[in-house]
Amino acid sequence: MNMFILNLALAVIWAALWGSPTLLMLGAGYVLGFLILWFASPVFGLRDGYFLRSWRILRLILYFLYELIMSSIRVAYDVMTPNDFSTPAILEMPLDVTSDFEILLVTNLISLTPGTLSLDVSSDRKTLTFHAMYADDPEAVIRDLKSGMERLVKEVFE
């Protein structure tokens, strides 16, 4: 059985038992159902990678939120001060992700982060062209994106 569907069913049951199908109750039911399934998985042999993938998705979300906050602060500081700290550049990053969805996710996460914008993916889908507002060290910008955003997206879909 699909563990995600089972977890959603447990969340709906939890909300129904409390008589208030609010988003908060569904969220609490989802977390409680996740914990129940995690503790029960050795007993019932429920090992299908659901827990590992959930952890990886959570890690990607937390990493993106951290990058979003830090880059927002950096861009806001640069805009609000009289000095211009930006060193914009158009960079090319070789892609390790291969599927269309992985490429889409990486490019969108990069574009959603203030200070960077995805411009193009090569026709062979092996190179991403993007604009970086702070590219003092272009190799470091590419290395950070590859070791952060792209690596975490790749891990989610392993």
- Among 2-11, 64-73, 86-95, 106-115, the minimum mean pLDDT is found in 2-11
Structure tokens at 79: 């805009």
- Among 43-52, 67-76, 85-94, 119-128, the minimum mean pLDDT is found in 43-52
Residue 21: per-residue pLDDT: 80
- CA-nearest of 122, 136, 150, 121 to 89 is 136
Instruction: Give the Cα separation of 96 and 57 in Å (integer).
Output: 18
pLDDT higher than 90, residue 47: no
**Cα dihedral 120, 92, 114, 96 sign:** positive
- Among 18-22, 32-36, 151-155, the minimum mean pLDDT is found in 18-22
Q: What is the mean pLDDT of residues 123-147?
A: 94
Residue 37: per-residue pLDDT: 86
pLDDT higher than 70, residue 1: no
Query: The pTM is what?
Result: 0.82
Q: Domain coordinates of the chain in residue numbers?
A: 3-44, 51-156
Task: State how far the alpha carbon of 133 is from the alpha carbons of 53, 83, 152, in Å.
Answer: 32, 14, 23
Instruction: Give the Cα separation of 104 and 101 in Å (integer).
Output: 5
> For the chain, first and last CA: distance in Å?
20
Phi and psi dihedrals of 124, rounded to 5?
A: -85, 0
* 4-23 pLDDT tens trace: 888 889 899 988 888 878 89
Q: Which residues contact 74 (CB under 8 A, 6 or more apart)?
A: 114, 115, 134
